[in-house]
Amino acid sequence: MVELVPITRENWRAALEVAVQPERLHWVASRQPVALMILAKSYVRMDSQVWHPLLIVSDDENVGVVALGTGGDVAWVHHFLIDERHQGRGHGRAAMRAIGEWLREEVPDVTRVGLNVVPENIAAFALYRSLGFERVGTTLAGQWITMTWLDDLTA
């Protein structure tokens, strides 16, 4: 079972230990530790969103990090990362479902969920597509903008 836990003063150091392979870092963030990027962006409220920095936990083990940006009816998934030591075990799919449930409970105005993905990250895009995300555009940096309905993510 995967759960989302707010990154707080009690667990922020543990969140900093979540890491991605150096050659895949550009898929998730501009530098490591990714949790530090999430916390900084949460503090400055990037894109005028309320940022929710979260630790992804499975069986009392920290397996990833993510930030959810909210404001209005669309929530954005930022810096979604499953630790390199925990990839390939279904944590990504379970975490995305948990994100949907978290949004449903914590931010009831949300009806759609968006995220950007680097086109070369084929495995991530396949996961997102299987969860109902569809490509709706491209950022200036060349990332694919994808969206799904919250109901599809939690189905």
User: Is the separation of the CB atoms in 8 and 55 below 8 Å?
Assistant: no
pLDDT > 90? residue 29:
no
Give CA–CA dist 154/143, Å, rounded: 25
Give CA–CA dist 155/149, Å, rounded: 10
Residues making up the chain, counted from first to last: 155
pTM score, whole prediction: 0.92
Mean pLDDT confidence for 105-111: 96
> In order of start, what are the domains of the chain with their CATH numbers?
2-113 (3.40.630.30)
Q: How confident is the model at residue 36 (pLDDT cuts 50, 70, 90)?
A: confident
Give CA–CA dist 136/103, Å, rounded: 21
CB-side neighbour CA atoms (13 Å) of 74: 11
Give CA–CA dist 133/121, Å, rounded: 15
Which sign does the torsion angle of CA 84, 90, 96, 98 carry? negative
pLDDT > 80? residue 30:
no
